[in-house]
Each structure stands twice: as C-alpha cells, then as structure tokens.
Structure 1
Amino acid sequence: MDDPEKLRALLDHAQDKIVVIDENGVYRYVNAAVERLLGYTTEEFVGTNTFEYMHPDDREDVREAFGRLLEGAVDDIETIEYRHQAKDGSWVWLESRVENHVDSTLGGYVVSSRDITDRKRAERRQRETEIRLEELAANTDDVLWTFSEDWSELLFVNDAFEDLWGMPVERVKADPTSFLDGIHPDDRDRVLEAMHQLSNGTPRTMEYRVNPEKGYRRWVWVQARPVAENGSVARIVGFARDVTDRRRRERQLQVMDNLLRHNLRNDMNVILGHAELARKRADGTVVEGMETILETGWKLLETAEKEREIVDVLVGVGDVGRVDLASTLRDKIEEFGAEMAPEATITADTPASAEVVSLPEIDRAIHELLENAIRHADGPPDIEAELHVESEDVILNVRDNASPIPRNEFEPLFGDEEPSDLYHGTGLGLWLVYWIVDLSEGTLDFEYVPDCGNCVTVRLPRAE
C-alpha cells in the first residue's frame, strides 16, 4: 500500500498494539491501539522509553531479550511476556513479538503486542487451584488417583497409597495394574469386574481388602467414576479411604448383638424354666432346681461382666504405647500363683525385657489367656508361657493341658465371615483377647497339639 495515510488508518484499526522503537527502546511510532489497550494517546507515547512503563520485576528480562535481538543472538523473532503499566496505574499483561532487524523505512524495530491479561489471570487461577489440590492430596489420608480409560497409564496418585496399600508408589507408577497385587486374592475378581464397568462408563462404589504386608487386614472404601470427553471415556478418577476401624466396629457389634440375642435370652429361659418347676413341685427336687438356677445365674452374671469389659475396651480405645511384655507376663504369673490359682503350675521362659507397641490393656489379655488355661485344664493346670523377640515382632506362646478350644469360639473373629444364628460365642474371654491384640496391630493364632494341649500365640509389634 503506497498511500501513507491509508496505511496509518489501517494500522490504527488493528487490535494489537503496533509500535516502532529504536535501539534504546524509544518509541518512534505508535498506533491507536495503545489508547484502547493502555489509555495513552499516541502523542503521549511517542518519544518516551518503553522500559519506563514495564513492571520492575519484568524490566530486566525484557532488556536482556531485546539485547539478544540487537546482538543477533536470536533468529528471526523474539517473543516475551511482561506487565505494562496503563495510564490509570494498573498493570496489563502483554505478549510482544520483535523482529530482529531494523525496518529502514520505519527507522526502528517493529514490535506488535497483544493483551494477554485475561489469559494470565486464568493461568493464575488454574495454578492456585492446582496448588490447593496438591496440598489436599499431600495432607489427606485418602488415596486419590487417576488412570487412563484402559488402566494402562497411571496419571496421578498421591503418597497416601504407599501407607494404605503397603506398596511403593514408584512400583504402581511403573506398572499401573500392579496395584492389584496389593488387593486380597479373594477380592481381585470383583475389582477387575469393576474396572471393566468403569472403562465402559459405569461409576462404581465398593469395599475390599488391601495391604499384603498387614495380612490384607486393611479395608478400603473406593468410589470411582469415568470422565467422558467427546462422548467416550477419557480417564477414570477415584479415591480409596481406609475403613478398617469401621469394619472392625461393625463386626464387633454383630458379635455383641449375637451374644445379647442368644446367650442372655437362652440363659434367662433356663432360669425362668427352673424357677417355675421349683414353684410347682415344692418337694425335694426344689433343691436340685434351685442349684441349676444359681449355676445358670452366676454364668449369666459372668457373661454380663465379661461383656462390660469388652465394651469398655471397644468404646475407650486409646493410643498404643510402649509396654514391657516380659515384665507384664511375670507379674501376671506371680499374681495367679500367689492368690488366684495356687494349685496351678505355671512356668515361664522370658527375656529380661521385651517391649512392644500395644494398648495398655494388653495385661488384661494376658490375664484372660492364663485364666482360660487354668479354668479349662484337664486335671491340675499345667501351663507354659514362652516369650521371644524377633527383629520386628515379639511373640508370646501360652500352652495348656486342656481339651481343644472349640473352633466356633474364635473363627467368627478371624477372616470376615458373618456369625451364624447357631453361633452363641460362650468364649467371651477369647474375644476380649482378640480385640485387644487386634487393636494393638497384632495377631492371634490358635493351635491344638494332640496329647499336649492348646497353644495360643500372640504376635505384637516390637517397640523400636
């Protein structure tokens, strides 16, 4: 276009700010967009230095970029983002492009700039959101995760995964489906089916067991949903929450409910039945009936007292701490030998000290184990207690000379099967032991050796 006036009019209608500056940054030409973007008139701008309008934090970066252009260190065009002060004192983000050669006609370097303030604000809001999400992910106990739609790529997982699953985060990042190895074998098929449904667009909520290091005793509640883009699943997002304590409480309540519905009701029926017979007969059999009433009544009172102890443990669960199991065991053996069961023979093999991490009530569990062994002995009680320390655990073995402990006394508290209506659970003492040990992150095992007796093994975390 040869007509300078038409060219000027055309430039003045451009949306971008177009200027010509010399090698010192002085404006030689400014189009009318400067007033629309920054509030200055063209007359106010021409003859001033561009660096005077730049934010102090950006000025040196722009000077360096312009210097590289002057030295020919940059090919073709230099692009830079910075804040430019408007006439009202506010700051406007500009993206400027400068060609690396002087236009001989215009007598300077041509710079075109466009307003990117809205984009910068959006980027800042996005970054602030990302920071908040990063803080949330780093400070929550929930596992937050995102997978690709076919589960072949792990897009995000926070560090909570390692503690809950018992697997390094690096492993699942390298092999996304390796998280399945941390799921209980009996639950994996259900999880695989849920993954298939999620990939097909169906949200899923489920619970399953994880963490092989802890014997898959961690329960997680998982909510996951597919994220669709352009009508198809693009990725899967979800979280996993540790609900082990909730599952434990539910199981405990089921057992206690079973106890109340069966034991107390049945024992009271025996009491009432014999009382009615005694009232009707009013002869010599009254004595026998009353003896049965008394025996059953005492059993009922004992059951109620044991139930109260269990409820106290479950309701008043405190923090675990350091306990010297060796000293506790010796004290309990001395207590039984001197006062409670002098007829019992109790031998112990213990180190001088064996500190564990457990609930303070662990002494009550030891008391219960010794009392059960004495009460159910076939003949004079003969009990052996052995305590030994391993690298990570302390193990207590209590052996007796009693008949086998009925498996239905403890099986409902191992695994996750529901108590049946036929299960009355007369062995409340063993339940008390189990819950104290379980709440101490320990394990409890039972074994019967013919002609020898029962061996109850308690394994507790060793204190560092």
Structure 2
Amino acid sequence: MTSEPDIEVLYVNDDEPQLELLRTQLTDESDRLHVRTAATPDRGWEIFADGRSDADADIDCILCDYHMPAQTGVEFLRRVREVDPDVPFLLFTNTGDETVASRAIEAGVTDYVIQETVENQAPLLVQKIVTYVEHRRSQQEIERTNDRLREIVSVTDQVLWVFAPDWSELRFINDRHEPLFGQPTSELRADPTSFLERIHDGDRARVEQAMRRASEGEPQLVEYRVDKSEAVQLWVESRCKPVLDDDGTVVSLVGLTRDISDRKVYQQDLLETIEQLEEFASTVAHDLRNPLNIANGNIRLAAKEQESERLDTALDAITRMDTLIDEILALAKEGDTIGDRQPAAFEELMRESYDNVRATGSSLEITGSVSLECDPTRLTEAFENLVRNAVEHGGSDVAITAGVLDGGGVFIEDDGPGIPPEHREHVFDRGYTTSKDGSGFGLAIVDRIVTGHGWDLDVGESASGGARFEIQTADA
C-alpha cells in the first residue's frame, strides 16, 4: 500500500514557546507533517527561499503569526506572493481584527484562523493544511499532465479533446481546434457545446446523437461537415472513447477530430470514375452483343444445313466471348461498395449460384448451411464464379461440394485437378490464369467481393485433390 506523501510546513512566530508548542501539537496530530520553525520573518524567508532552490526541502504550506515586531504576517505574505502566488498561506493570529483580515485577503491569504487561548487547534490546522496542500498538488499534477499532453499532441494536426461525461465542461484541448473549426478556443471553453454551431445543419442532429451515445458509454465514430466560414466548408471525422471507472460509470470523454476533406474528394472522384467505367462497359457490351448474336444465329443455321467441326469451334468461341463480356461487366462493377447486408442462408445462395451457371453434367452436394450477414447479390456473384472455375478446370462432370467450416465460415471444393501450390498465391491476381481460355478475372472478382465483406479467402486442396476455397467469416 502506498503511503501518503509528506507535507513540509513552515511556521513563523516570534513567540518561541508558542512556536515550539504548536510545532509539537501539529506533528503529534499527523505524522505526514514536517514542521520547520522560524522566530522572525527574515529567517522564515531564508527557509522558504532555500526550499524553492531545493526540491527535497520545498515548502508546501506556510503558517504565520500576524503580530511580529520586525514585520507583520501580512507584510511577510506580500513578500511570499511576489515569488509564489499559489503556495497555501494560513495567517494564525490571536485577534479578529476586520482590518487585518481585509488586508490579508487583499494580499492573497489562503485562510485566516483566529488563535484560541485554551483549545488545542492542531486538529483544525492539520485539516486545513492537508486540504489546501493536496488541492494544490492535484492542480499542479493536472497542469503537468496538460503540459505533457500539449507537448505530445503538438506534433499532430488532429484536435485532441477531453470533455466531462455530459459535455458541460471542456477539460483539455490542444491548439488545433481553431484552425479546423474557425472558432477561438476561449469561446469553446466558455461554452463547451458551442462547436455545434459550426457543424453543418444537415449533420448536427447526427453529431448530437453520437454525443448522447458517448455519454452512455458507447465509443463513437462520426463524419460530418464543418462550416469553418461562409466560404469554407470541411469534412471532419471525430472519434470518441468514453473513459469508465471501476463501476462502469463514464468519467470523461476523450476524442480526436481530424480533417478528412481530401479523402472525401477522393471518394467522390472514385465514385464518378466507377460510374463512368460502368457506363462505358455497359455500352461496349451492348455494342458487342448485337453482332455476336447475329453471328451466333447464322452459324447455328449453317450448322443445321451442314455439319462441320469448324462451325462447332466458331460457336464455342462465340459462347466464350459472351462469357468474357459478362466478366468484364462484373469487373467494371467490382469497385462498388458492398450493399446493405441481410441474413441469407448459405445453402440457398449456393444452390441459386449453381443453377445460374447451368453446368450440365456436373453435380453439387451441400453438407451444411449457416446464416450469413451479407449482400446476397454480390455473394451470389462470387459463388457463381467459383462454380464456373470448377467447371472450367475440372470438366463438365466435375463434382462440387459446399459446406460449413468448423472454425466459422464456409467452403466450396471440387474433385478436379486442383491448383498447384506454386500457383495458389497468384490465383486471385487480376488477369492471372492457367487456362488458355481463361480471362483471369473470375477469382479476382471473388476475392474483391469476399474481402469487401471484411472476410478472408484462402485456397487449398480438397480431399480428392481438387481445389478448395475457404471463406472465413465473422458471422459463421
């Protein structure tokens, strides 16, 4: 158990018997107090000055009589306050003169105690001394902590802040608030929630909701617009972490706010680029399919009139080109974010994906199912590509098996030739393929969709030597 720190007290009084008596009473009352005595103000000043130059002898509190021939207690107080405005100073006098009290208060006295002639006042004095010293020490520790925080955060361009649990008090903030919000820090200290006035009208309610949730103990992350001035608007991101005591009660709200305007501009540019890419791909696909449909129809008519391996080869090439068009369209949409998630049964998604591919001659066995929180449309697209990959490499009679992983997740495997170990780390790279007819897009799309859900995708070997794809999810 850590003991409470000692307190160094300086007691100044020209009445030496009283000086020694009170020193003894104070130290008997509390073993935390170390009392140094001075019979004159000049000697008291020497002890006080020596303590300021020696941290081990620093005076934590001064107790001083008022009536002394060379210098009054108030005059000594003024001398002390010239060099230390905060050290606790208790004037201990045997008179209740209002004029003396007024002068003492004006000079910055901490407390004014009337000396009783009979009663032992050591308990009262000890209580006052300990209270004032501990308060000063706590304030000094807060100041030291704030100084360290300011030094640490001076190298960042983010706003670091600490609020009371109900946002009624700003306990700390670095110097980055005004450059970001265009609001003087002094204004925020006077009214801790005044920063809300700088938040864009359309975002303010959302920020206030995040503040309420933080006060209830929930960490928050919120993006919103700040109207820094009439001409300047920024996007910022605020993260808030509630600090809890041992009982789970919120005691402080600590957070960081940073400028994310560049990121928002990039996101907007990216969305526009994706939209343009999708429009371009759709146009190209439409323009390609028209002549392909004509070629396909005429070749089939010709095949009815005359059997020819070359016509069959041409039909296979047209079918492959149609598949390539589908993959290019899917690749163009790959930059899309995963849509709204909803529960979906793995078995249903897997059967739908298999049916969509129409892999005649192949088989699908599902050994188990689980509910997945996912974008069903995008995940179905991923499963379709895995089925196509199995058929493409394992042949039309490939056997596909799907099920649930023991550790959480799902798998899809086949009994085809498998993927050699030296190729496995590259199979998800865009454009990589070991098939002369492959585009190298299918598995790359699977990887983007799976990772877009926040899941992990691995490739290995099935029990029959074929390819095995494992999707580790947080939902299974």
Shorter-chain TM range is 0.3 to 0.5
TM-score w.r.t. structure 2 length? 0.36
Q: Which structure shows the higher strand fraction?
A: 1
TM-score w.r.t. structure 1 length? 0.37
